[in-house]
Amino acid sequence: MSELSELIPVEAIRLDVAAPDWQAAVRTAGNLLVETGVSTDTYTQEMIRNVAENGPYIVIAPGFAFAHARPSPAVRRTGMSWVRLASPVNFGHETNDPVHLVVALAATDAGAHTEAMGALARLLADSDTSEALDHAATPQALRQILAGDAASAGATSTDTASSPTSSSEGGEAAAPKRSGHGMHKILTVCGNGVGTSLFLKSTLDKVLDRWKWGRYITTEATDTISAKGKASEAVAIMTSREIGRTLGDVGIPVRVIEDFTSTKEVDAALRDLYDV
């Protein structure tokens, strides 16, 4: 969790911000990245253009948008910002609008922030922690929550995924019915391969850990262009509705996940894929 709080300093947090539309909300988050020396104004425009070109796939959970763009020279170092809106705004997402929280990410590469994405996913999936973040009175108070114990996040959450085992407790899940020989791979896909896809990968990994299927299935976060080439190596893709439409027919099942923080939804998608 310390990595997450280090990526979001107090100076990169704004609470109860007035924004007339989604562009202004993303611009506010981008300006905080600029002010803290993480990126330039060019990157802020790239985040806005990302939504304009790919749709509101960055709205990965009810009320939550994870703004980002591809790594580029406009990113000086990996960092994040946090903007809680005074009034929610619409991004055009079919199920997760309106948005009251915008977290922006600028990353120098796809692997520099994987641990922080997992920590953020766990925090937002835990109802008590999420509520505390929504009601934090000051940036300092919010950052204290971010710097809390990651092990406690999700421990009491009701959004859990059960293992597809027999009725006997402690038993390991049976191998996937489609296992055959060798490892299976599931791709999590977003427009850039560095933000929402890593977020979804973290939730998927959490479910696979509970199922004890790590020996059968590997996961990989990637972007839309790479996913089309990697589809032949995978058994399925998990992604947003918007990115699913962009991918089209890639020759393997594509499962749409509406809430990237929901282990229940990912659990159901896995059960459907493997007929569990």
* Residues with catalytic function: 68
Q: Which residues contact 75 (CB under 8 A, 6 or more apart)?
A: 38, 39, 43, 106, 107, 108
| Helices (H), ranges, the chain | 2-7, 22-35, 41-54, 114-125, 127-135, 139-146, 196-211, 224-230, 241-247, 263-274
**Tokens encoding 154:** 């999700």
CA dist., res. 132 & res. 128, Å (int): 6
| Distance of alpha carbon 108 from the chain centroid | 17
CA dist., res. 165 & res. 175, Å (int): 10
CA dist., res. 212 & res. 272, Å (int): 17
CA dist., res. 28 & res. 30, Å (int): 5
User: Residue written as tokens 């406009």?
Assistant: 74
Q: What is the full DSSP assignment across 102-116?
A: EEEEE-SSTTTTHHH
**Tokens encoding 259:** 């809430």
Burial 174-196 (b: 16+ CB within 10 A, else e): bebeebeeeebbbbbbbbbbbbb
